[in-house]
Structure 1
Amino acid sequence: MERRSFIKSIGLAGATVAGAALAAPAIAQDVRHWRLLHAYPKGYPVYGTAPNVFAEFVGKASGGRLKVQVYGAGEVVPAFETMDAVSSGAAQVGFGTSYFWKGKEPAMQFITGLPFGMTVQEQNAWFTAGGLELSQKVYERLGCKFFVAGNSGTQMGGWFNREIESTASFSGLKMRMPGMGGEVLSALGATIVNLPGGELLPSMQSGAIDACEWIGPYLDQAFGFHKVAKYYYYPGWQEPSGINDLFVNMDEWNKLPEDLQAIVAAGAELANAHVINELTARNPVAQKQLMDEKVEFRPFSNETLIDLANKSGEVINDLASKDPLSREVVDHILNFRAAVMGATALSEQAVLMARSLDYKYANLNGG
């Protein structure tokens, strides 16, 4: 999908903000220069381009008053030091995934998403229903302003060279799986090795790790995991959805006039739409290509999923109880999840079940 179409898709609200900014006499305004550091390889599809979508929109909508230069992982700092750079003021804005920063603030890992948690639509709604303000409370501890700037949608369960017959199959496995999913597998006896995306393929090739989980067909294919692993398991129980975060140094945020703050917020919304729309459009194509290359797509058994869900509940409760802010975030998510699941069961879930029934549907070209 072309970037221009996303810029056009920001809608009336974004257009209004942009129009107001462009109407201002930019020549008389101070020009601000920001550095955006992100935690993904430069030029990597979707996650590596979403920061560019944000930067391009902000530059155009501000009439050149706010210029954002984008740097990929390793160009200025390593991927997992992005938050440090923004929090300290060495850079103005960062882009990554909330659970990358859980070592600095434990509640971060819950914001990304919970195992067996919410769909992308439900999670976006959670932010509307108070989750955004609660997430900001977490990010303020690191001196940052928080925005949602992407969502993976439902991921895949990972790449393996052994069959996963039950949760016992995870015992002794060296696997890359970040976030809460990694905590669950660690509790089941796996050794979790958290690595940035660019290091995963060589680690699989060398045997430094036995298995890995990344995102889904399109981005996994781009890294070439199908060349080093035999089995591709689903569903992605560990991340039914997973957000990308865009975070601005709070001192820099407070320096912005209100119109530029509105433009930054609109740019984050555009990046959010870019990520999920790109992945939704491209995953089916990549999935078919992987199937044509004889990748073995394997479902986790229901028994395995039930055991994973039970262990997930134990791990979530244990981690959430270690500090009051984590408990506050988790309780808020669980309350919303319980409420929205009932509505989803009668709407999207029911339609998906109906759509999978055996019937004759419309044919291409009326054939």
Structure 2
Amino acid sequence: MDRRSVIKQAGLAGVLAAGAAPAIVQAQANIRWRLTSAFPKALDTIYGAAEVFSRHVKELSGGKFEISVHAAGEIVPTPGLVDAVQNGTVEMGHTAPYYYFGKDETFALGCAIPFGLNSRQMTAWQYEGNGLKLMREFYKNYNIISFPMGNTGAQMGGWFRKEIKGVNDLKGLKFRVGGFAGKVIERLGGVPQNIPGGEIYTALEKGTIDAAEWVGPYDDLKLGFYKVAKNYHYPGWWEGGPQLDLFINTKAYDTLTPEYKAIIENAAAYAHTDMQAKYDARNPNALKQLVGSGAKLVAFPKDVMEASFKESMALYSEISAKNPNWKKVYDDYAKFRADSNVWFRFTEARFDSFMQAQKL
């Protein structure tokens, strides 16, 4: 059996366990690549996924394939990440694809859209549905190949200086919101603001913005938003399961041996699971700390949820009518969402609602 067959049939973890890896990696050239992250180092979970990935690539390659990880702004700022990978300025980038919907709305479908898939559904669509295939076809336009690499799980709705009691309270609201949600907020009369994570606190403190969302309790506690806005609304209906992606320059990727490509795939899959595991483990205690510090948990009113849903669906229809890239991917995405929600309705949702009502 040749080395490629070993990798393909046993999987990389099995190869390492069987002791076959040294013979494989010894035959590979030493490689040094750079990865630019869209996040600051202070956010150890979302930024840390890239470091987890890099560490596993090094370990699986016996130290022959090393990837240096650079925080947002060290090489390029977050908005320039796609261009940097596309042009070969760096070989890799780790980001939330919806940051780049200004280039094409289809980017958002690789991450999260309002009232979209939850994290498990997103992973299922990517790996077992047509998601990864369709998104890779789209990313070819940017000289990029993608790998799922992280998910935060459903997010919180953000920090508001004044409580949102109805849909009319959104009118004129200056709201820092990431990704595609701004389009829906705008349709509801809000004024979306696109501000990098490291600048949100100051803008909220000074009153430059009225509200801001980031991810959830663990990151929000680190960023200190509860000190300047006490109303912590939920849920983040625009981010039910936002996926992070590893973007790789296609030409650089094509130079890799099959063994190194297998290492990247395995390391990215590990980091993908690791990120959400960390958020799910760390968010509960962080939420307790936030409430203990005076944060007020407030559910979005029903009329806000219903109006947001209605405007989201109308927006998707409008985009489908003018953007063939979006329509091709969204049609498949929407069908998968509908089928998956039928299943979750009878299992996950019912089980979760019962368990969360119990006093354990």
Provide the TM-score with structure 1 as the length reference: 0.91
Q: Does 1:114 align with 2:113?
A: yes
Q: Is the contact between residue 34 and residue 68 of structure 1 (CA under 8 Å) also seen in structure 2?
A: yes
CA distance in 2, matches of 1:301, 1:108: 29
Q: Is the contact between residue 17 and residue 259 of structure 1 (CA under 8 Å) also seen in structure 2?
A: no
Provide the residue aligned with 2:166 in structure 1: 166
Please list, as runs of the form range in 1=range in 2, the aligned pairs for 1:202-213 lying within 5 A after superposition.
Answer: 202-213=202-213
Provide the residue aligned with 1:178 in structure 2: 178
Query: C-alpha displacement at 1:282, in angstroms?
Result: 0.3
Query: C-alpha displacement at 1:203, in angstroms?
Result: 1.6
Task: Please tell me the residue identity of whatever aligns with 1:254.
Answer: D
Moved more, 197-206 or 66-75: 197-206
SS in structure 2 at match of 1:281: helix
Please list, as runs of the form range in 1=range in 2, the aligned pairs for 1:84-233 lying within 5 A after superposition.
Answer: 84-127=83-126, 128-233=128-233
Query: C-alpha displacement at 1:264, in angstroms?
Result: 0.3
CA distance in 2, matches of 1:206, 1:21: 59
SS in structure 2 at match of 1:265: helix
CA distance in 2, matches of 1:204, 1:80: 21
Provide the residue aligned with 2:287 in structure 1: 287
Q: Is the contact between residue 230 and residue 294 of structure 2 (CA under 8 Å) also seen in structure 1?
A: no
Provide the residue aligned with 1:271 in structure 2: 271
Task: Please tell me the residue identity of whatever aligns with 1:15.
Answer: A
Aligned length: 349
Identity of aligned residues (%): 34
Task: Please tell me the residue identity of whatever aligns with 1:228.
Answer: V
SS in structure 2 at match of 1:73: coil
Residue 206 to residue 264, structure 1, CA distance change in 2 (3 Å): same
SS in structure 1 at match of 2:304: helix
Provide the residue aligned with 1:66 in structure 2: 65
CA distance in 1, matches of 2:20, 2:327: 41
CA distance in 2, matches of 1:338, 1:245: 24
Please list, as runs of the form range in 1=range in 2, the aligned pairs for 1:242-321 lying within 5 A after superposition.
Answer: 242-321=242-321
Q: 1:317-354: CA deviations, max 9, x gaps?
A: 22233210101111111100110111001110110122
CA distance in 2, matches of 1:208, 1:140: 39
Q: 1:10-40: CA deviations, max 9, x gaps?
A: xx84412545773226455321110000010
Q: 1:30-82: CA deviations, max 9, x gaps?
A: 21110000010024221111100000000110112211001000111112111
Task: Please tell me the residue identity of whatever aligns with 1:300.
Answer: F
Moved more, 17-26 or 157-166: 17-26
Query: C-alpha displacement at 1:207, in angstroms?
Result: 2.2
Task: Please tell me the residue identity of whatever aligns with 2:220.
Answer: D
Unaligned runs of 5+ in 1: 1-11, 362-367
CA RMSD of aligned residues (A): 1.6
Residue 56 to residue 356, structure 1, CA distance change in 2 (3 Å): closer
CA distance in 1, matches of 2:322, 2:24: 52
Q: Is the contact between residue 18 and residue 62 of structure 1 (CA under 8 Å) also seen in structure 2?
A: no
Task: Please tell me the residue identity of whatever aligns with 2:99.
Answer: F
